[in-house]
């Protein structure tokens, strides 16, 4: 009998995952990851780990499976929290959920599970896995979940073949309502529980307060760039080759204060992210203002009016070579090669037609249509049909 260790989070998805594995004849053990102690920055009592671990324990009792709690808060702080501070300080917007899966759930947690004699680790992610033999060796594929509204494959875009080989995603074939129905039928305490939000395992965090633990507030100016800004309307130069064109089109506009007008003050450029409109506290415009760029070196935020401001729109992004990750290593591009794909730059975004190019200078994703608020530090992920092939950190 194969042994599976399920990451029971105290939510409905992992509860039903454990039940389904039991039905499939696995020996199932529930493990709750405790990753956070500091409740001073979480909002109210949402998602405190104590309540979640209690719910996870009650589910394990109901299903009659062994249960224990592992404390990974040290590794979580090191891999996730410190990384978040570093990225924000550099003026990038990190994605802790993607990192948490790569570094914690499918690494630290997986190692603990394998030490406990597990054959597999399972989670309540809405995604699927399949296996195919290619050139005589097994290749694992990460597929989107059946519930297109809840597909979470994006969060697993950094997993490796090795990690996938040991992973199971029992609810990937189900929709969220189906999962809730199963949980209600079993009378599980998590059946009606709201989905957790915010940072994985921390809960809803007040981000500025969270960041202020390390990044001290400092006053700077907010500068509004008009949509008549000359660089938006320059004719494109002649390019020697495709690589030069992509490099040009993926390069940020370097705004200066003199390019616009000062419209307000802020308390730290690193608390803001591209595309953000909340927290600027500036009125008097017809349409809301959006952050179009941040300059953390000089502590300036640049904003544009309206969701269609040209400063928010770009078609090309770059990923540094060392940040390129292929789940399907067998499909990895060599220098000078390209591949037609569908891609997204954030979770829950519709997939858009794109071409991935690999050059000596890096990997580029060129979208057919404009993308709004391409953000440094976030992950771009590219797919063929419903299979996630690879991903990379937007530079």
Catalytic residues: 100, 200
For residue 205, give the DSSP letter. B
Strands 120-122 and 3-7: parallel
Rounded CA gap, 277 and 303, in Å?
A: 9
Rounded CA gap, 81 and 261, in Å?
A: 35
Rounded CA gap, 72 and 112, in Å?
A: 10
Question: What number of other Cβ atoms are within 10 A of residue 139's Cβ?
Answer: 18
The residue to which tokens 């204060």 are assigned: 257
The answer to whether the CB of 342 falls within 8 A of the CB of 382 is yes
End-to-end CA distance of the chain: 46
Rounded CA gap, 235 and 64, in Å?
A: 68
Dihedral (C-alpha) 144, 148, 152, 153: value to the nearest 10 degrees? Answer: 20
Angle at the Cα of 368 from the Cα atoms of 98 and 277, rounded to 5 degrees: 55
The residue to which tokens 């947690």 are assigned: 109
Residue 9 Ramachandran class (φ > 0 left, ψ -120 to 50 alpha, else beta): alpha
For 61, 122, 152, 361, the CA distances from 20, given in Å and listed in that order, are: 15, 11, 19, 46
């Amino acid at each position: 009998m194969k042994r599976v260790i399920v990451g029971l989070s105290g939510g409905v998805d992992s509860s039903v995952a454990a039940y389904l594995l039991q039905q499939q004849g696995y020996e199932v053990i529930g493990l709750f990851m405790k990753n956070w102690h500091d409740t001073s920055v979480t909002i109210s009592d949402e998602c405190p780990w104590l309540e979640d671990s209690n719910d996870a324990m009650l589910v394990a009792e109901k299903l009659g499976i062994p249960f224990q709690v592992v404390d990974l808060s040290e590794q979580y702080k090191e891999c996730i929290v410190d990384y978040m501070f570093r990225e924000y300080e550099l003026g990038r917007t990190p994605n802790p959920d993607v990192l948490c899966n790569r570094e914690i759930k499918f690494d630290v947690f997986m190692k603990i599970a394998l030490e406990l004699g597990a054959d597999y680790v399972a989670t309540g992610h809405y995604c699927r896995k399949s296996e195919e033999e290619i050139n005589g060796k097994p290749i694992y594929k990460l597929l989107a979940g059946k519930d297109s509204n809840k597909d979470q494959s994006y969060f697993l875009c950094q997993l490796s073949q090795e990690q996938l080989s040991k992973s199971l995603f029992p609810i990937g074939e189900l929709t969220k309502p189906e999962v809730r129905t199963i949980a209600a039928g079993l009378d599980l305490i998590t059946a009606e529980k709201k989905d957790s939000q915010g940072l994985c395992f921390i809960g809803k965090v007040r981000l500025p307060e969270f960041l202020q633990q390390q990044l001290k507030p400092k006053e700077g100016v907010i500068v509004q760039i008009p949509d008549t800004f000359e660089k938006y309307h320059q004719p494109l130069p002649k390019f020697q080759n495709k690589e030069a064109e992509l490099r040009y089109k993926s390069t940020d506009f370097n705004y200066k204060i003199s390019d616009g007008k000062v419209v307000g003050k802020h308390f730290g450029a690193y608390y803001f992210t591209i595309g953000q409109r909340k927290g600027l506290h500036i009125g008097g415009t017809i349409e809301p203002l959006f952050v179009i760029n941040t300059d953390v070196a000089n502590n300036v935020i640049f904003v544009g009016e309206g969701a269609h401001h040209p400063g928010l729109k770009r078609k090309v992004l770059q990923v540094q070579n060392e940040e390129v990750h292929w789940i399907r290593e067998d499909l990895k591009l060599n220098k000078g090669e390209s591949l037609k794909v569908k891609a997204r730059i954030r979770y829950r975004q519709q997939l858009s037609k794109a071409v991935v190019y690999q050059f000596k200078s890096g990997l580029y994703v060129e979208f057919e249509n404009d993308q709004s608020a391409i953000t440094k530090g976030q992950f771009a992920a590219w797919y063929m049909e419903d299979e996630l092939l690879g991903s990379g950190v937007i530079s």
